[in-house]
């Protein structure tokens, strides 16, 4: 049996963040991932904010940045565009489009450099709670191994099993799990370079379509829907959009990615004796945008820091409650208020979205951010004011 202080299951950004900070805190850490290549396949549109990276202390690297985000385009069903670009007002750079296959490896390497041991192609097949920790059963390349840890951190994504096996509720109910599908495409035409594009309304019920540029003619083109609000599958909606878009008439897909995205908010219980849950597995996702890289890494950072300290003091839920408090303090404000915005937008039909876009014409923006857009929405829409007046 291999003994360690902390085992982190899942080497996505949240898991690597947890492993890094637990190791920096002095814990002996093993980071496991079932995939043979960390970061592949990607299940993400790959956008992050500059502010988010700065808060996490991550220095941008040209190794994993494919494009700077220089503006936003929102399009409603009747073709009305709302542009947030420096054509209207001088705007700072909003963020970056990543290459997740490189970024995720970079984050895992950060964890390794902090002292964590990484085990790839290692599938967790079962866990057993013991008095002072967990027994973790794994299989790797036909070899079975048994591990013992004092704290288990579940960062195994929205469909992960670890938290469920430990008796904790999953992050999202079925009706709060978006179904997402995305092509990476070449020969994409852009009206303006460096602009991330969102298409709203019945083209993606309960969600939106996105085009995120990764190069002069390369982009992630995808969508997410809430299946209970849709009449077709996600791939059918995406193929319909691609067929109709003038910007994609010559585009060719070189990769397809599919997956679920939990947009119901954080799970009610993020911890128990000897276990913490972070990232998508904990619902640490922006319910409005579906983005979870920065929020998941923030949750992972909190989990890693608390785990390292708990190893020195107390690994029971009495102490690990501190992680729950830290995660909610860091993430609640964003997640809960954007959940309200998401619920409001779900009440709007195509005509109402068109009317809002028309009212946006002539508005100027101080910066590129979701918060700035929602503030303007409240300003121009009586219905939004009624529903979201306390947003800010």
Q: Which of 198-212, 268-282, 365-379 has the lowest mean pLDDT?
A: 365-379
Tens of pLDDT, residue by residue over 208-234, are 999 999 999 999 999 999 999 999 999
pTM of the full predicted structure? 0.94
- Give the three-class secondary structure for 57: coil
Task: Tell me the three-class secondary structure of 121-187, residue by residue.
Answer: CCEEEEEEEECCEEEEEEEECCEEEEEEEEEEEECCCCCCCHHHHCCCCCCCCHHHEEEEEEEEEEC
Preceding peptide of 198 cis, ω within 30°: no
Angle between helices 370-380 and 350-360 (to 10 degrees): 100
Section 172-200 average pLDDT: 93
Instruction: Sort residue 287 into left (φ over 0), alpha (ψ -120 to 50) or beta.
Output: alpha
pLDDT of res. 180? 96
pLDDT of res. 387? 81
pLDDT of res. 144? 98
* Tokens 């000897």 found at: 274
Tell me how far apart the alpha carbons of residues 121 and 119 are, in angstroms, rounded to a whole number. 7
Instruction: Sort residue 28 into left (φ over 0), alpha (ψ -120 to 50) or beta.
Output: beta
pLDDT of res. 20? 98
Neighbours of 170 (CB within 10 A): 20
Q: What is the mean pLDDT of the chain?
A: 93
Tens of pLDDT, residue by residue over 291-331, are 999 999 999 999 999 999 999 999 999 999 999 999 999 99
**Band of the pLDDT at 165, cuts 50, 70, 90?**
very high
Tens of pLDDT, residue by residue over 260-288, are 999 999 998 899 999 999 999 999 999 99
Burial of 79 (0-12, 13-18, 19+ CB in 10 A): exposed
pLDDT of res. 89? 46
Section 60-85 average pLDDT: 92
Section 5-31 average pLDDT: 98
Section 200-209 average pLDDT: 96
Section 144-157 average pLDDT: 97
Tell me how far apart the alpha carbons of residues 369 and 79 are, in angstroms, rounded to a whole number. 22
CA quadruple 173, 176, 179, 182: dihedral sign: negative
């Amino acid at each position: 049996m291999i003994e360690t202080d902390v085992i982190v299951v899942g080497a996505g950004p949240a898991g690597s963040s947890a492993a890094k900070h637990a190791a920096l805190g002095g814990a002996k850490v093993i980071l496991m991932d079932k995939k043979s290549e960390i970061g592949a396949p990607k299940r993400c549109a790959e956008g992050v904010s500059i502010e988010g990276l700065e808060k996490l202390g991550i220095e941008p690297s040209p190794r994993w940045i494919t494009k700077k985000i220089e503006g936003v385009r929102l399009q409603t069903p009747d073709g009305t565009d709302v542009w947030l670009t420096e054509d209207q007002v001088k705007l700072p750079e909003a963020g970056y489009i990543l290459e997740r296959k490189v970024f995720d490896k970079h984050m895992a390497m950060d964890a390794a450099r902090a002292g964590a041991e990484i085990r790839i192609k290692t599938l967790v097949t079962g866990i057993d709670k013991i008095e002072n920790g967990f027994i973790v059963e794994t299989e790797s390349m036909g070899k079975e191994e048994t591990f013992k840890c004092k704290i288990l951190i579940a960062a195994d994504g929205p469909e992960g099993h670890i938290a469920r096996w430990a008796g904790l509720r999953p992050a999202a109910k079925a009706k709060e799990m978006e179904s997402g599908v995305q092509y990476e495409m070449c020969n994409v035409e852009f009206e303006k370079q460096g602009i991330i594009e969102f298409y709203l309304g019945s083209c993606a019920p309960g969600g939106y379509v996105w085009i995120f540029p990764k190069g002069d003619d390369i982009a992630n083109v995808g969508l997410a829907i809430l299946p209970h609000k849709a009449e077709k599958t996600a791939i059918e909606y995406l193929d319909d959009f691609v067929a109709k878009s003038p910007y994609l008439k010559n585009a060719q897909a070189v990769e397809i990615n599919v997956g679920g995205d939990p947009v119901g908010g954080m799970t009610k219980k993020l911890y128990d004796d000897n276990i913490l849950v972070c990232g998508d597995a904990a619902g640490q996702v922006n319910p409005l945008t579906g983005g979870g890289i920065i929020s998941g890494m923030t949750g992972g950072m909190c989990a890693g820091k608390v785990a390292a300290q708990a190893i020195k003091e107390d690994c029971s839920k009495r102490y690990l409650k501190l992680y729950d408090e830290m995660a909610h303090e860091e993430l609640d404000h964003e997640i809960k208020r954007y959940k309200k915005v998401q619920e409001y937008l779900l009440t709007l039909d195509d005509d109402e979205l068109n009317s809002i876009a028309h009212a946006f014409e002539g508005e100027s923006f101080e910066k590129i951010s979701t918060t700035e857009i929602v503030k303007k929405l409240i300003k121009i829409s009586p219905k939004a004011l009624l529903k979201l007046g306390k947003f800010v």
